[in-house]
Structure 1
Amino acid sequence: MLITKFDPFKQMRDLERSLYQYPQSSEGVGGFVPVVNTREGEFAYHIDVDLPGVKKDEIKVDIHKNVLTISGERKTKEEVKEEDYYKVETSFGKFSRSFTLPDNADIENVEASSKEGVLELVIPKLSEEKHKKIIKIK
């Protein structure tokens, strides 16, 4: 007899996973959710976004009230039309991912580059001197 441990949150994780696998845009057409890798270095934060099939002029990156938003639309698809079948391999549609930036992020010097379907954002950290203010008492 196999004994399994009860996990009360398994259904919630399964539901969340299913929502990310089959996203729906506001128009009812299936979109896609790009894979994102984030990491923190000594001097900067890094965000890598996998955007295969998305041209860099179709990607929009903006920062508003310390929230960085990456959005765009993938319009390409690989489809095969034969006499007895029709096949579409890739998902397509609009996407948007948002990230709340930490207080020490230098939003004035954010750099973005796109190479071989990967968007890389480098968000420098403010030095402690710029981030800290000493107030003199009168």
Structure 2
Amino acid sequence: MSNLVKSPKNGSLTRRVNNPVTGFPSLSSWLDDFGIGEFPSLFSSNFNTGMSLPKVNIKESADAFDVEMAVPGLKKSDFKINLENNSLSISAELNDEKEETNDGYTRREFGYSSFKRMFTLPDTVDDSKINAEYKEGILKVHLPKREEAKEKPPRNIKIS
């Protein structure tokens, strides 16, 4: 059997070494296969609201900041995006109620979940031009920079 290289969540590489005598994986590699390393992420959810905080990517370019939030299964109308005192807040609330009746049995389930993420905006953001779109489970918020904050291309200065 060959050695396998596994990339854990922290980004470093670890080497999975099989037992040289039997050729079977070591006990620690079996525990990795059962997802024991996933338990800390179970406890990172926001238990007060019933929904874990969605993952966010923030990208800065010369002209803007772009925020992408992975929130599949929601509708555009589920979101609230507010700007107050240089703080951008993105939140959503879901009320889910289902009732099934089948052969005399009735089952009714309901749930409530929400999240709220807040970001402090730098002074370079032009808050009058912020826009957002939701498409295929990704909420994108575009935060354009003020004209004076945008990077200027290099230029030659003539000597007189």
Letter in 1 for 2:55: V
Q: CA deviation at 1:111?
A: 0.9
Q: Please, which runs of 5 or more residues in structure 2 have no aligned partner?
A: 1-39, 98-110, 150-160
User: What is the deviation of 1:31?
Assistant: 2.0
Letter in 1 for 2:52: F
Q: How does 1:1-138 map to 2 (within 5 A)?
A: 21-25=44-48, 30-75=50-95, 93-128=113-148
* CA deviation profile, 1:37-63 (whole Å, cap 9, x unmatched): 101011000000111111110100010
Deviations for 1:13-69, whole angstroms, at most 9, x for unmatched residues? xxxx668623122xxx52221111101011000000111111110100010000000
More strand by share: 2
Give the Å deviation of 1:116: 0.6
Q: Map Cα deviations across residues 91-126 of structure 1 (whole Å, 9 max, x no partner).
A: 961100000000010000001000011000000000
Distance 2:78 2:95 in 1: 9
Q: Distance in 2 between matches of 1:101 and 1:20?
A: 28
SS in 2 for 1:21: coil
| Residue deviations 1:74-106 (CA, integer Å, cap 9, x gap) | 4469xxxxxxxxxxxxx9611000000000100
1:23 and 1:95, CA in 2 relative to 1: closer, same or farther beyond 3 A? same
1:73, CA displacement in angstroms? 1.8
Code of the residue aligned with 1:21 in structure 2: it is S
TM-score, structure 2 as length reference: 0.54
Q: Distance in 2 between matches of 1:92 and 1:36?
A: 22
Larger Rg: 2
CA distance in 2, matches of 1:36, 1:20: 18
Q: Root-mean-square deviation (CA), in Å?
A: 2.6
Specify which structure has the bigger relative contact order, considering alpha-carbon pairs within 8 angstroms and separated by 6 or more residues.
1
Aligned partners of 1:126, 1:20: CA distance in 2, in Å? 40
- State TM-score, norm by structure 1: 0.63
